[in-house]
Structure 1
Amino acid sequence: MSDCQLYLISPLDVAGNFPQRLERALDAGEVAAFQLRVKDVDQHEAARLAEPLQAICAARDVAFMVNDSIALARRLKADGVHLGQGDGTVEEARRELGRDAQIGVTCHASRHLAMEAGEAGADYVAFGAFFPSETKASEHRPEPELLTWWQSLFEIPCVAIGGITPDNCGSLVSAGADFLAVSHAVWGGDETAAVRAFHEAIRAAA
């Protein structure tokens, strides 16, 4: 039985009808977390965009995460922050956001970075991109065995990210991913159908 869960990442544009799309996605099947990932907007605008999305997540007991910005996560009183390698340290995030915040760290394909993040107190590590991504270019292409290696040694959950679809996620679930971080595969089409398809694929791989 797999305990693998979905971790949705927002498209860059969360204005317009996106709140309704998020509601449909979260109502289509269980989602563990939602990450707000907006670029090139100031913090005030990001906070305005976040408000309805955060409420939708709270109503459904879905963790609301902020990408990259410890300051925005603190302003929103978000459930946590996801840090890239250049977005500040786990220690800084913990100091700013408190001991209950969820702090995740992008580790690409690096065992060393993941171990460092774990030692610093990260709540999860993210590996990827496992497949070519429509959302974000990455030169890092880990093998699924990296997830298996991590699971064999560490208690901290691992997130698989990068180009993941219902058709290709099975190998990552089988390898031991605790979470599948997905964006384009959900928002690039019918979000309700996509979430359902992911759940079917996770069950089939379990």
Structure 2
Amino acid sequence: MTRLYLISPERLEHPAIFADDLRAALNGGDVAAFQLRLKDVTDDAIARAADTLRPICQQRDVAFIMNDRPDLAVKLDCDGVHVGQDDMSYAEARRIVGPQRQIGVTCKASRDLAMTAGEAGADYVAFGAFFPSTTKAVTTPASLEIIEWWSELFEIPCVAIGGITVENCRPVIAAGADFLAVAGGVWNHNDGPEAAVRAFNELFSADR
């Protein structure tokens, strides 16, 4: 069954205020993971956000994942790290975070990158973007076929990312995605993050 993987907004001027949105989202139903993905901010700002939000996630058994920075994942006691193709290799990330933490790898729309990451030991691979995104310029549109192919052949979970909303996610679920990575589709939902998470989980249950 598909599960939800939340991604933070790129900027959190006031993590304590966003914490209310995060709690509301988690009140909406099952969430597997939350990734802190802040852009163009200082390490201190990342640390402040992590120290505010990590306990909220970990108290509810939601994995707290750091984007791009294995060093901060260790320092800030995160459950894992997500690395992009431009950040560093899986092997280097694993050397930094050790054997216990999760590592996910961005594979865009590439079967080769996904197989390489899987063979190296990645805990999950991420494909996308599937739809135009408000948070990231889409450089490599992905097709649903890559999820269908991966889920038929490999045990390693795959994450679908890129502009996913309650309204457009059904084909991605049907293709076999293990997780849907969602940012704006939850935080900017008309009825609020709690309603968004509830709606996603209703769709996941209906697809079983």
TM-score (norm. length: structure 2): 0.95
CA RMSD of aligned residues (A): 1.0
C-alpha offsets along residues 11-68 of structure 1, whole Å, 9 cap, x if unaligned? Answer: 0223431011101101110100000001112212210121010010011110000011
**Bigger shift: residues 71-80 or 123-132:** 71-80
Match of 2:4 among 3, 6, 30: 6
Provide the residue aligned with 2:139 in structure 1: 139
What SS is found at the alignment partner of 1:41? Answer: coil
Q: Give deviations 1:76-128, integer Å, cap 9, x for gaps.
A: 12100001101111111111111111100110100000001111111000000
Letter in 1 for 2:49: L
Query: Is 1:171–1:205's contact at 8 Å kept on the other side of the alignment?
Result: no
Aligned to 1:194: 196
Is the contact made by 1:123 and 1:156 (CA closer than 8 Å) also made in structure 2?
Answer: yes
- CA distance in 2 between counterparts of 1:93 and 1:106 reads 13
Distance in 2 (CA, whole Å) between partners of 1:96 and 1:7 is: 23
Letter in 1 for 2:46: A
TM-score for both structures, normalised by structure 1: 0.96
CA distance in 1, matches of 2:135, 2:65: 18
Secondary structure of 1:107's counterpart equals: strand
Who is 2:47 aligned against?
47
Matches within 5 A, 1:66-105: 66-105=66-105
Runs of 4+ in 1 over 4 A off after TM superposition: none
- What is the aligned partner in structure 2 of residue 181 from structure 1? 181
Match of 2:62 in 1: 62
Separation of aligned partners in 2, 1:105 and 1:154: 15
Q: Write the distance in 1 (CA, Å) between the matches of 2:198 and 2:12.
A: 22
Aligned partner of residue 4 in structure 2, secondary structure: strand
How many residues are paired up? 204
Q: Are 2:128 and 1:155 aligned?
A: no
Q: 1:139 deviation in Å?
A: 2.3
- Is the contact between residue 15 and residue 49 of structure 1 (CA under 8 Å) also seen in structure 2? no
**AA paired with 2:141?**
R
Take 2:112 and 2:139, find their aligned partners in 1: how far apart are those partners? 17
Q: Secondary structure at the match of 2:108?
A: coil
Contact 1:167 1:201 in 2 (8 A): no
Residues in 2 aligned to 1:165 and 1:45: alpha-carbon distance in whole angstroms = 28
- 1:16-55 aligned at under 5 Å gives the runs 16=14, 17-55=17-55
In structure 2, C-alpha distance between the alignment counterparts of 1:199 and 1:54, rounded to whole Å = 22
Query: For 2:103 and 2:200, how far apart are their aligned partners in 1?
Result: 24
Q: Distance in 1 between matches of 2:175 and 2:74?
A: 34
Secondary structure (helix, strand or coil) at the match of 1:133 reads coil
Matched residue SS, 2:35: strand
State the 1:203 CA deviation. 2.2
> Where does residue 113 of structure 1 map in the other structure?
113
Gaps of 5+ in 2: none
Find the residue that maps to 1:46 and give its secondary structure. helix
Distance in 1 between residues matched to 2:156 and 2:57, nearest whole Å: 24
> How far has the Cα of 1:166 moved from its partner?
1.0
